[in-house]
Amino acid sequence: MSEKNFLAEQAQRFEEHRPHLRAVAYRILGSLAEAEDAVQETWFKLSRSDTSEVGNLGGWLTTVTGRVCLDMLRSRATRHEEPLHDGEGRVVSLPDPVISAADRVDPEQEILLADSVGIALMVVLQTLAPAERLAFVLHDMFHVPFDDIAEVIDRTPAATRQLASRARRRVQGQAPAPDSDVAARRRVVDAFLAAARGGDFDALVAVLDPDIVARSDGGTLLPSALRRGAAEVASQAIMFARFAEAALPALVNGTPGVVAVADGRAMSVMAFTIRGGRVTALDILTDPERLANLDLSALTD
């Protein structure tokens, strides 16, 4: 086989795995652009490798993508680009949201959002150390054996298992599974918006969990904040009722949320985590630079 034909065949095989690799990289990195970079780097490595004896190309590509992402995470730490924190050291930097129409998820996003990888879960993943994050994502979300992950992070399989277990406990404690009824969650979001638009403090408190956590990420241009408790979050929601007025229903990472739009541009993205019929977490992206890069076509078609 000529080199040209060989590369064409490799490219075709790689494209079959690209959606899966994007999903892996997105969960590890929390950035859609960086996920694309990681997948592209994986292709470069494949194009320069002899995989004739690789029995499971998908598994090989997954671990290569994991290794690339791990290097990127460690590079972030070296450049001091870990997530932003508030004054008490709590993470308030949000991952990139994936925006879909309120009544459907684009087929190209289905693999990216499999397993209901909501914003609240992604936030917790960003609090994990790079090796912990990799071990948890690859094993718990993509069923990669611990022996394979251990080679990527340069640990023993037993140590890798412990890393994943520690990460799992944190995820389960800080990002428990939301209510499963999507229609019921949408009704809670609608009730929140109606109360915010009307300035109804009591109605807002009624749909908020008493221990709600609200995170707002303004990037480098606007202040970021973390607020706790139904009363404080309700008061803040009323102060920023203009966002509620401009809100369009959407799916944010596959779960009911809203995007505030003005003059065709996103002003904010709000992701809701709902358990027991109340909002337990509210994640708001207001970073103008990142909002400018969002694809809003699904909301306007």
Q: What pLDDT, on a 0 to 100 scale, did the predictor assign at position 92?
A: 57
Rounded Cα gap, residues 123 and 119, in angstroms: 6
227, 269: one domain: yes
Q: Which has the higher per-residue pLDDT, 283 or 4? A: 283
The span from the CA of 196 to the CA of 42, in Å, is 46
Indicate whether 107 belongs to any domain. no
Find the mean pLDDT for residues 243-257. 86
Write the pLDDT tens digit of every residue in 58-90: 999 999 999 999 999 998 866 555 555 544 554
In the chain, at which residue ranges do the beta strands (DSSP E only) sit? 99-101, 208-217, 225-228, 247-252, 255-262, 265-275, 278-285
Pair (159, 208) in one structural domain: no
140 and 253 together in one domain: no
Check whether residue 24 and residue 147 sit in a common domain: yes
Mean pLDDT of 172-193: 89
Please check whether residues 52 and 82 belong to one and the same domain.
yes
What's the pLDDT tens digit per position in 137-152?
999 999 999 999 999 9
Measure the CA–CA gap between 269 and 252, rounded to whole angstroms: 8
Would you mind telling me the total number of residues written for the chain in this entry?
301
- Are residues 240 and 145 located together in one domain of the fold? no
Together in a domain, 158 and 193: no
Structural domain includes residue 114: no
**CA–CA gap between residue 214 and residue 285 (Å, rounded):** 11
- For the chain, what percent of residues have pLDDT higher than 90? 55
Q: What is the rounded CA–CA span in Å between residue 216 and residue 119? A: 12
pLDDT tops 90 at residue 255: no
- Highest average pLDDT, of 113-117, 119-123, 167-171, comes from 167-171
Full residue range of the structural domain in which residue 282 is found: 182-300
Q: Which of the two residues, 254 and 8, has the higher pLDDT score?
A: 254
pLDDT of residue 87: 47
Read off the tokens for 210.
Answer: 């008493």
Q: Are residues 170 and 186 in the same domain?
A: no
Residues 162 and 188 in one domain: no
3-state secondary structure of 83: coil
Max alpha carbon distance in the chain (Å)?
Answer: 72
Lowest mean pLDDT among 85-99, 214-228, 242-256, 267-281: 85-99
84 shares a domain with 213 = no
Residues 196-244 have pLDDT tens digits of: 999 999 999 999 999 999 998 988 877 788 889 999 999 988 887 777 7
Question: For residue 228, what are the β-bridge partners?
Answer: 213
Q: Let me know if residue 148 belongs to a domain.
A: yes
Mean pLDDT, the chain, rounded, equals 86
